[in-house]
């Protein structure tokens, strides 16, 4: 009993120490128009963030937000379990369930709380929580809610997951926690393989914050991309990325939705997302439904950037989403590329991505709304740069290269 408690503590601790505690607050950016930011009195082209359809500043979302503000106010100022259940939430949940092809949807105030709420409803039902070593912090916190030992498996490694499951005891009932698409490099979880190794009674909880709206033939996310059904998967997503609004959502069966309603403190004890944001999310769903050309443009832009960079000698991974991560290189070269990007009028998207990378990396995010001029400028700037380490991959990127690129 004591050994189990100690192991639980140790595994939780291990998942946490991977965060870089030395980070300072980055400089503020102001968005200008569709694809630019103001930074130190300069207007620069922006290849970052997760608003890959540029809906966050779409006037139709703003109009929908204003309409909902006029109708419902800024805030319902109560939990939905008490007096805060406005009809706009049901409208949005119905639209989300339809959009994702799920039995039901349940809104949470933000995307971070979605896996947390799902895991609170699953507490006590599993023998182990198995989590990808690079899983988002929301999943690290969610896994702790199960009240069982947590084990970490190697990043996107179905074989390591299989071994971890087989070492968990004969009758283990694992809950597997993974991102759908990983934000540090755009790689995706091999959900189909994970499901093959899942024993009866097991479940996969997917944080699809980055995959939802983007991956799969119709943007339903990483489940659609992997061509898997929903039977043993709970999909969580955010409305703050591809959908340009705000809020979290759990997409699951009716009975599971009821369970969250009845037992998840992060649902019961929180005020739902403000009605104007729900109104904006409804508008975003409608825009993406009526304008499939946006997703086409996104992948055309991505294809252009990838093929041009490869032609220029960059070894760029075949990941299916709009994220283009450059291979790691030395600090001096990082500074040099930063200077060159700024000279070309491009904001340098240098990030240190928590668990997945100890050093600064360049991660470009391509949008459906970048113009050919923007894309050509990016490609020309990177093509003219020759770091000594070019062509070197991280182990992570090597794995990602073996997977298919085309949106399904």
Ligand X SMILES: Cc1ncc(COP(=O)(O)O)c(C=O)c1O
The yes or no reply on residue 183 touching ligand X (CB under 6 A) is yes
Among positions 273-302, residues that touch ligand X (CB under 6 A) are none
d(CA 408, CA 339): 37
243 binds ligand X (CB under 6 A): no
Beta bridge partners of 237: 249
**In the sheet where 30-32 sits, what is the strand order?**
30-32, 36-39, 42-45
DSSP character string of 41-80? TEEEE---SS-TT--TT-HHHHHHHHHHHHHH-S---S-T
Among the residue ranges 110-118, 214-222, 329-337, 373-381, the one whose residues contact ligand X (CB under 6 A): 110-118
**Closest approach of ligand X to the CB of residue 136, in Å:** 4
Q: Binding of ligand X at residue 207 (CB under 6 A)? A: yes
Establish if 112 lies at the interface with ligand X (CB under 6 A). Answer: yes
Identify residues 122-161 at the interface with ligand X (CB under 6 A): 136, 138
Residue 240 interacts with ligand X (CB under 6 A): yes or no: yes
Report residue 216 as tokens: 């799969």
Nearest distance from C-beta of residue 247 to ligand X, angstroms: 7
Of 145 and 337, the one with the shorter C-beta distance to ligand X is 145
Q: Do the strands 203-207 and 248-252 form a parallel or antiparallel pair, or are they unpaired? A: unpaired
CB closer to ligand X out of 314 and 353: 353
| Contact status: 51 vs ligand X (CB under 6 A) | no
Q: Which residue is nearest to ligand X (CB)?
A: 111
- Looking at 205-213, 273-281, 309-317, 342-350, which segment touches ligand X (CB under 6 A)? 205-213
Tokens encoding 298: 């996104």
Specify the residue, 105 or 183, whose C-beta has the smaller distance to ligand X. Answer: 183
Q: How far is the CB of 276 from ligand X (least distance, A)?
A: 16
Of 86 and 136, which has the nearer Cβ to ligand X?
Answer: 136
- Could you say whether residue 205 binds ligand X (CB under 6 A)? no
Q: Should residue 251 be labelled a site residue for ligand X when binding is judged by CB under 6 A?
A: no
CB of residue 310 to ligand X, shortest distance in Å: 27
Cα-based distances in Å from 297 to 166, 202, 212, 294, 323: 44, 38, 17, 5, 15
Q: Is 179 a residue that touches ligand X (CB under 6 A)?
A: yes
What's the first-to-final CA gap in the chain, in angstroms? 47
Phi then psi dihedrals of residue 20, to 5 deg: -80, 110
Give min distance, CB of 123 to ligand X, in A. 20
Comparison of 108 and 375: residue with beta carbon closer to ligand X: 108
Contact between 209 and ligand X per CB under 6 A: yes
Report CA 248 to chain centroid distance, whole Å: 11
Cα radius of gyration (the chain): 21
In angstroms, what is the minimal distance from the CB of 187 to ligand X? 13
Cβ distance to ligand X smaller for residue 172 or 178: 178
The single residue among 51, 58, 93, 110 that binds ligand X, judged by CB under 6 A, is 110
- Cβ-contact 136, 179 below 8 angstroms: yes
Handedness of CA 134, 137, 138, 140 (dihedral sign): positive
**Could you tell me the CA-to-CA distances from 370 to 35, 347, 376, 381 in Å, in that order?**
7, 14, 10, 16
Nearer to ligand X, 183 or 285 (CB): 183
Asked whether position 238 contacts ligand X by CB under 6 A, the answer is yes
* Cα–Cα separations (whole angstroms), residue 181 to 73, 208, 211, 266, 325: 35, 6, 5, 24, 13
Shortest Cβ distance from residue 341 to ligand X (Å)? 23
Window of 77-85, 162-170, 204-212, 348-356 that interacts with ligand X by CB under 6 A: 204-212
The reply on whether position 119 binds ligand X by CB under 6 A is no
User: What whole-number distance in Å separates Cα of residue 108 and Cα of residue 33?
Assistant: 30
Contact mark string toward ligand X, 68..107, x via CB under 6 A: ----------------------------------------
Residue 332 tokens, joined = 């001096």
- Say what angle helices 113-122 and 137-144 make with each other, to 10 degrees: 20
| Site residues for ligand X per CB under 6 A | 110-112, 136, 138, 179, 183, 207, 209-210, 238, 240, 248
């Amino acid at each position: 009993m004591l050994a189990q408690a100690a192991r639980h503590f140790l595994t939780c601790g291990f998942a946490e120490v991977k965060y870089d505690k030395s980070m300072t607050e980055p400089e503020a950016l102001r968005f200008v128009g569709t694809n630019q930011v103001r930074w130190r009195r300069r207007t620069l082209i922006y290849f970052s963030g997760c608003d890959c359809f540029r809906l966050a500043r779409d006037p139709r979302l703003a109009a929908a937000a204003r309409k909902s503000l006029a109708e419902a106010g800024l805030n319902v100022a109560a939990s939905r379990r008490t007096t805060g259940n406005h009809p706009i939430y049901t409208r949005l949940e119905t639209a989300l369930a339809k959009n994702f092809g799920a039995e039901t949807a349940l809104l949470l105030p933000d995307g971070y709380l979605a896996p947390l709420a799902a895991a609170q409803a699953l507490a006590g039902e599993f023998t182990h929580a198995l989590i990808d070593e690079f899983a988002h912090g929301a999943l690290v916190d969610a896994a702790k809610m199960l009240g069982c030992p947590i084990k970490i498996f190697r990043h996107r490694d179905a074989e390591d997951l299989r071994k971890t499951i087989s070492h968990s005891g004969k009758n283990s009932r694992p809950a597997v926690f993974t991102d759908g698409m990983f934000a540090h490099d755009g790689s995706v979880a091999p959900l189909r393989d994970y499901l093959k190794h899942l024993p009866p009674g097991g479940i996969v909880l997917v944080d699809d914050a980055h995959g939802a709206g983007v991956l799969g033939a119709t943007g339903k996310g990483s489940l659609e991309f992997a061509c898997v059904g929903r039977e043993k998967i709970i999909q969580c997503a955010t409305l703050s990325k591809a959908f340009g609004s705000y809020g979290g959502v759990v997409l699951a069966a009716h009975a599971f939705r009821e369970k969250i309603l009845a037992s998840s403190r992060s649902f019961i004890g929180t005020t739902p997302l403000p009605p104007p944001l729900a109104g904006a999310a409804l508008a975003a769903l409608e825009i993406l439904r009526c304008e499939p050309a946006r997703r086409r443009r996104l992948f055309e832009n991505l294809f252009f950037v990838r093929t041009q960079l490869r032609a220029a000698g960059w070894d760029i991974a075949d990941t299916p989403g709009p994220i283009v991560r450059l291979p790691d290189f030395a600090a001096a070269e990082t500074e040099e590329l930063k200077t060159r990007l700024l000279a070309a009028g491009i904001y340098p998207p240098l990030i240190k991505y928590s668990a997945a990378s100890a050093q600064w990396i360049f991660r470009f995010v391509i949008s459906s709304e970048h113009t050919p001029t923007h894309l050509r400028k990016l490609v020309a700037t990177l093509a003219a740069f020759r770091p000594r380490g070019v062509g070197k991959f991280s182990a992570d990127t090597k794995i990602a290269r073996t997977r298919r690129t085309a949106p399904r």
